[in-house]
Structure 1
Amino acid sequence: MPQLDKPAAAPASWSSGLFDCFDLCTYRCLTWWCPCVTFGRVAEMVDMGSTSCGDSAARYALLATVTGGCQWIYTYSYRGKMRGRPRRGARGDCCVHFCCERCALCQEYRELAARGYHPSLGWQLNMERRAAATAPPAVHYMAG
């Protein structure tokens, strides 16, 4: 499996603030009305394609429905994975997802975009785009 320049690679800090979700952007609206989709996209990228957006979104929706809104118990761990510290700082990640989960999801989505990924395309297409961008240019010789 190809390595991601790791959405899980630890940035020194986030490229945007937690409350920068109040700008006018598509994923902010998507996250407000359907946070399971935003989470699914983030999870697919962080898990480097080992889980699909659909599977993660379905788990999110199921947990939200069954637990009455305690899906943050599942989602906060991905924040730590993105920072490259799944265990360290877990308490803070947990608090952020508990208190303002939608802003946290938007921040994580923006972070992936800042690292050059397009979460809406999914893991496979992102990897294909990266491979095409790093491939040497094709040289065509004309017979003559």
Structure 2
Amino acid sequence: MGEWQNGLFGCFSNCGVCIMTYFLPCVTAGKNAEAVGKGCCLWGFLSILGPIGIYTRAQVRQLIREQKGIDGSFGMDCLMHWFCGLCSLIQEANELGAAQAQSMARE
């Protein structure tokens, strides 16, 4: 199994994503969900609903980990979004963005 390409506290490696997530975390959550096959608007909206948001964002994080072959557990995903929610969203967005940039470079 692998590791995250972007660290949890590497928020400023992509300032655009960092600023967007700080002011509109539901947009980043929705885009992350859309990248793993979930509905952007629904999952973005659910992400702001307290405990439901933590649960739904952790589900998306789990899907990203499975897609990328990254070690972890759903329980840890929940804890990440409970204590470091914005940093987790940014880490996921950067991970998905890095994968998209690599696939575009191969084309």
For 2:33 and 2:76, locate their aligned partners in 1 and report how far apart those are by CA, in whole Å. 19
Tell me which stretches of 4 or more aligned residues in structure 1 moved more than 3 Å: none
Q: Which residue of 2 aligns with 1:57?
A: 44
With normalisation by structure 2, the TM-score equals 0.80
Q: Give the equivalent residue in structure 2 for 1:21.
A: 11
Task: Give the share of equivalent positions with the same residue, in percent.
Answer: 32
- 1:34 maps to 2:18: no
Provide the residue aligned with 2:73 in structure 1. Answer: 89
Q: Which of the two has higher C-alpha Rg?
A: 1
Q: What is the CA distance between 1:60 and its match in structure 2?
A: 2.4
Q: Give the number of equivalent residue pairs.
A: 100
Unaligned runs of 5+ in 2: none
Which of 88, 100, 103 in structure 2 is aligned with 1:116? 100
Q: Say if 2:98 is the partner of 1:98.
A: no
For structure 1, the 5+ residue unaligned runs are 1-10, 64-68, 118-129, 135-144
TM-score, scaled to structure 1: 0.61
Whole-angstrom CA distance in 2 between matches of 1:55 and 1:82? 18
Cα-to-partner distance string for 1:22-73 (whole Å, 9 max, x where unaligned): 44611101101110000000000111xx52x222222223x2xxxxx32212
Kindly indicate whether structure 1 or structure 2 has the higher relative contact order, using CA contacts under 8 Å at least 6 residues apart: 2
Q: Corresponding residue for 2:55?
A: 73
